[in-house]
Amino acid sequence: MKSNDQWSSRFGFILASAGSAIGLGALWKFPYMAGTNGGGAFFLIFLLFTFLVGAPMLLAEFVIGRHSQQNAVSSYEKISGNPSWKWLGYLGVIASFIILSFYSVIGGWVITYLVRSFSGSLTGLPNSRYEQLFGDIIGSPATSLLTQALFLAITVAIVQFGIQKGIETASRYMMPALFVLFLVLVVRSLSLDGAMEGVAFFLQPDLSKLTAEGVLDALGQSFFALSVGISLMVTYSSYLDKSANLTGSVISVVGLNVLISFLAGLAIFPAVFAFGFEPTEGPGLIFTVLPAVFNQMALGGLFFTVFMALLLFATLTSAFSLMEIIVSTVTRGADNRKKVSWIAGLFVFVLGIPSALSFGVLADVSVFGRSIFDMMDFLASNLLMPIGALLISIFVSKKMKRTILESEVMMSSKAGQVIFPLWYGLIRFVVPAAIIIVLITSLLSY
Ligand code: PFF
């Protein structure tokens, strides 16, 4: 392996995998999913799935990648000795294409909001204007496609330089900054008049509000937010050497992700109720609520611009990881990284066009009762990711020896010795059972 392909430090790897995990999933999707699925009940189920299913899956992917030292496609083939398993790797690449195709649409919205906040055109408006403004922005085909293309171009431009320079350096500074700004936002939101109603909505579970579809959404969200189920973390951890502590990395990534989701809920819901917005607003939730919160702050316009810049960054680090898995699978060590990156970017853009237009000219088109955008998200997060995770959990329990798993989990980690038996039970029984039950129940209730 070229030295260029090794992480410069364990910290670099954690930052990059946290950078992949933390993005629109926690900051944009989580609040709107919680809002449409009853608030506290969704949060509770999401936490259960994250700890009992998502976190064990993350460790499973780390173990596979670090053990095989190969990208996802080759990992499965090499470990099992059976070429059919490489399709599990390809499933991940296909899912990455789909995810990036709609992820880049939201990335484009973030760019638009960043530019607009910079020009000052988002500050000082009455709260009721923000919903309409959002509708105008996403409804415009030219703006949507242009910003989506721009978002992808930035992603490709950075990914083509290879993993270390591209991803790690950038993650190091921006994520902590985003975190701090989020704390400020939470404090402001919690101190609004009427904030407590939002806190209750978010933190008091009312299980009667939960539907079978909501439970599948929560499962999908736990995978989406941790970037698991599509073997991306297999490829990422293949760059790790044997001294890395896998359980410690899982704890950091899961902990950070849950914390950011929690803060996102605390920033959004108090403001939703204080300002009279609807929690069920859907994909536009943060884009209509956050400008209104920043409006209530001293220097709100400036903070909003900084926030959008950091959100864009968090979104990009997730997009890099998706692009990276595509590029590393296609190039397989050949020297055509640059060309492959740009061609892949073009494919993703074309695939994303219907999603981008589904808020405007294609708004009336529905597939199985969903907009095109929602359908792509559903396909990736609620079908492909759970199915991928199910197969990965089966792969780990059927194709990898217990002794190998044990040594990978325990290596360089005291916590690993305690965690291993627990994880081994979860990944063999709880993870597959939970996925099968949730998938079947919710698909039957359709
Ligand atoms: N986890 C990312 C987020 O929450 O924004 C999205 C994502 C990235 C999902 C990479 C899946 C993935 F493989």
- Domains of the chain by residue range: 3-444
What is the Cα–Cα distance from 191 to 179, expressed in whole angstroms?
A: 19
The H or E element that residue 254 is part of is: helix 246-275
Nearest to 123 by CA among 317, 355, 300: 300
- In terms of Cβ atoms closer than 10 Å to its own Cβ (0-12, 13-18, 19+), residue 169 is middle
Atom index in ligand 1 nearest the CA of residue 28 equals: 5
Instruction: Output the pLDDT for position 68.
Output: 94
Instruction: Output the pLDDT for position 351.
Output: 98
Ligand 1 centre from 21 Cα, in Å?
5
Indicate which residue's Cα is closest to atom 10 of ligand 1. Answer: 227
25 CB near ligand 1 (under 6 Å):
yes
Digit-by-digit pLDDT tens for the chain (446 residues) are: 343 456 666 677 777 788 889 999 999 999 999 999 999 999 999 999 999 999 999 999 999 999 999 889 999 999 999 999 999 999 999 999 999 999 999 999 999 999 999 998 888 889 889 999 999 999 999 999 999 999 999 999 888 876 555 556 666 777 788 888 889 999 999 999 999 999 999 999 999 999 999 999 999 999 999 999 999 999 889 888 888 889 999 999 999 999 999 999 999 999 999 999 999 999 999 999 999 988 888 888 888 998 999 899 899 989 988 998 898 888 877 788 899 999 999 999 999 999 999 999 999 999 999 999 999 999 999 999 999 999 999 999 999 999 999 999 998 788 888 999 999 999 999 999 999 999 999 888 87
Ligand 1 centre from 188 Cα, in Å?
28
225 CB near ligand 1 (under 6 Å):
yes
Instruction: Output the pLDDT for position 3.
Output: 38
The H or E element that residue 366 is part of is: strand 366-367
Instruction: Output the pLDDT for position 349.
Output: 98
What is the Cα–Cα distance from 369 to 248, expressed in whole angstroms?
A: 42
Q: Which of 103, 159, 326, 327 to mutate to test the pocket of ligand 1 (most atoms within 8 A of CB)?
A: 103
Q: Which of 20, 236, 324, 382 to mutate to test the pocket of ligand 1 (most atoms within 8 A of CB)?
A: 20
99 CB near ligand 1 (under 6 Å):
yes
Domain 3-444: give its CATH architecture.
Answer: Up-down Bundle (1.20)
Residue pointed to by tokens 């892949």: 344
What is the Cα–Cα distance from 61 to 130, expressed in whole angstroms?
A: 41
Q: Which of 318, 320, 327, 384 to mutate to test the pocket of ligand 1 (most atoms within 8 A of CB)?
A: 318
Tokens of 255: 């902990």
pTM over 0.85? The answer is: yes
In the DSSP assignment, the letter for residue 25 is: I
CB 341 within 8 A of CB 122: no
What is the Cα–Cα distance from 171 to 259, expressed in whole angstroms?
A: 18
Helix (H, G, I), strand (E, B) or coil at 119: coil
Nearest to 119 by CA among 313, 301, 309: 301
Instruction: Output the pLDDT for position 409.
Output: 93
Residue 441: what residue type?
T
Tokens of 326: 């595509």
Instruction: Report residue 255 CA to chain centroid gap.
Output: 14
Indicate which residue's Cα is closest to atom 2 of ligand 1. Answer: 21
Instruction: Output the pLDDT for position 4.
Output: 41
What is the Cα–Cα distance from 163 to 56, expressed in whole angstroms?
A: 25
What is the Cα–Cα distance from 214 to 443, expressed in whole angstroms?
A: 12
For helices 127-139 and 285-295, the axis angle rounded to 10 degrees is: 140
Q: Is the dihedral of CA 80, 164, 225, 379 positive or negative?
A: negative
Instruction: Output the pLDDT for position 162.
Output: 66
Instruction: Output the pLDDT for position 83.
Output: 95
Q: Which of 46, 99, 378, 381 to mutate to test the pocket of ligand 1 (most atoms within 8 A of CB)?
A: 99
The H or E element that residue 367 is part of is: strand 366-367
Instruction: Output the pLDDT for position 168.
Output: 65
In the DSSP assignment, the letter for residue 358 is: T
232 CB near ligand 1 (under 6 Å):
yes
